[in-house]
Amino acid sequence: MKVLVTGGTGLVGTYLQKYTDGIFLNSKDFDLTNETEVMRMYFMHKPDAVIHLAAKVGGIMDNIQYPFEYYEENLLMNTYMVKHARAFNVQKFVGVLSSCIFPDVVDHYPMVEEDMHKDLPNANNFGYGYAKRVMGCHIDIAKKQGLNYSYITPSNLYGEFEHGDLSRKHFVGALLQKIAIANSSGADKIVLFGDGTPLRQFTFADDVAQILNLILKYDIKENLNISTPDNLTIDTMARLALEATDSQHLRIEYDTTKPNGQYRKDIDTTKFQNIFPNFKFTSYLQGIEKVYNTIKQQHG
């Protein structure tokens, strides 16, 4: 089976190269927001299976400032990828969504896969969240017409291969970079957005790569939420990070003029656990130690 991976040198894609033999593409190879380019990609490589990781991603302030770009670029690439996978007879397609697809507030937690359609996504990630939600709908419709298309919805991710500056990184990556910069510059504090009260699940991207490989290997057809069970406050995660990086001398200062973001968006992983009951996730402390060591090398 010939496997094609978009976003192949990104956060999850770089880890996936360890587990899956395939064609790993990035934005330098094809512009996936251009329909002609997507058609050219499929014609050139003729894949049997596609893992669609490519996306425009960024931190909360970047999403707030550029919602049009986050919606349009993700909507275009996702639509063209699914549309032409069908046109070029791709036998298996796995899309990667985000927990940003889920409603801002629901009447129960954690959220199950079907909760995606209950209400609107959080306003701060509305463009990105809705574009990902639309891809989920597109894939579900393809599935109804007999295609072996599915998606996974991971919680927030972190890892050693998250690219971009602080504005483009998710919380854990940005947190660890702030710690590394503070330590290398001799600062005595780090500044975080909001007040530290929101709850988050964060999953090590290497775990998601392993799961994607298992989905291909065993031809899993179900849509699955993917996450560690831990649901911690931002403040707890920050203090654990200071401990894990031997940085307890740094103070945490909260900038309450900046947004908190969604209060909670923890997802239910019962379906995943039923299919892969023996899968062991990387613990938060183990994961951040690996990521911090990588970032620390970059900042001296």
Reference 252, options 260, 263, 268, 241; nearest CA is 241
Residue recorded with tokens 């996730």 = 281
Active site residues: 128
Dist. CA 278–CA 263, nearest whole Å? 30
